[in-house]
């Protein structure tokens, strides 16, 4: 009589995980991340794009910030015949701002492959994304974490951009800065210099 092995690996045990580590210079005084499942892994179908923006109805994950576009960016899972790993692309969904991935700028609807470790910048946000490989084909996990310091400073992945990413200027009118008067997204990308 043959015995069937009781140690069958399940997809739940072997999911690819996107670790998304967030930073914004004003995160301590504002509730930007109140709609995110911080510290908890959430499971997602690989067939569906994962969207991030300020609209919690249109996006998988939402940031509470009027300067973020309604739909700001999206991650798409994919596989290739050459590797068993689940890989990802990132796409810029905002018309009002740019997105940079390890210093490479993506304009509206442009997308690129996401490396295993990527520094993503939009507005004053920095996101360090680390892909942890798994063997599951149909789904993956996402885990959000808030960082106390900018990941560009911590990892020294600072890539000075040649042109600042800014769509609207800021000036004071009637004592109120433009950022506080406008409800439209205002995306800026501050260049951080990394010292070794």
What digits encode the pLDDT tens for the residues 39-64?
899 999 999 999 999 999 999 999 99
How many domains in the chain?
1
Q: Contact 18/75 with Cβ under 8 angstroms? A: yes
Q: Using CA atoms of 21, 27, 28, 30 in order, give the dihedral in degrees to the nearest 10.
A: -140
pLDDT of residue 155: 59
In a domain, 196, yes or no: no
pLDDT of residue 130: 96
In a domain, 6, yes or no: no
Containing structural domain, residue 155 = 11-159+172-189
CB burial readout 61-70, b (16+ within 10 A) else e: bbbebebbbe
In a domain, 67, yes or no: yes
The tokens for 105 are: 């700028």
pLDDT of residue 20: 96
How confident is the model over 146-162, as a mean pLDDT? 69
pLDDT over threshold 90, residue 18: yes
CATH number, domain with residue 132: 2.60.200.20
**Residue 141 parent element (H or E):** strand 139-146
In a domain, 195, yes or no: no
In a domain, 165, yes or no: no
pLDDT confidence tier of residue 10, bands split at 50, 70 and 90: low
In a domain, 1, yes or no: no
pLDDT of residue 79: 92
Q: Indicate the pTM of the whole model.
A: 0.72
In a domain, 182, yes or no: yes
**Cα 86 to Cα 144: distance, rounded to the nearest angstrom:** 19
CB burial readout 144-162, b (16+ within 10 A) else e: beebeebbbbeeebbbebe
* Local structure of residue 66 (DSSP, 8 states): T
In a domain, 20, yes or no: yes
């Amino acid at each position: 009589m043959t015995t069937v092995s009781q140690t069958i690996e399940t997809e739940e045990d072997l999911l690819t995980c996107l670790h998304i580590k967030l930073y914004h210079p004003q995160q301590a005084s504002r509730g930007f991340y109140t709609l995110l499942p911080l510290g908890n892994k959430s499971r997602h179908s690989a067939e569906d794009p994962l969207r991030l923006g300020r609209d919690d109805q249109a996006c998988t994950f939402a940031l509470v910030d009027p300067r973020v576009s309604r739909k700001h960016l999206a991650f798409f899972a994919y596989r290739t015949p050459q590797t068993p790993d689940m890989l990802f692309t990132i796409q810029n969904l905002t018309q009002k701002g740019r997105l940079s991935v390890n210093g490479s700028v993506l304009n509206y609807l442009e997308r690129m492959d996401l490396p295993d470790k990527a520094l993503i910048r939009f507005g004053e946000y920095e996101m360090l994304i680390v892909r942890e490989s798994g063997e599951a084909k149909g789904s993956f996990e996402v885990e959000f974490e808030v960082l106390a310091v900018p990941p560009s400073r911590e990892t020294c992945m600072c890539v000075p951009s040649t042109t600042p990413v800014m769509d609207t200027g800021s000036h004071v009118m009637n004592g109120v800065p433009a950022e506080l008067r406008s409800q439209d997204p205002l995306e800026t990308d501050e260049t951080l210099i990394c010292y070794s």
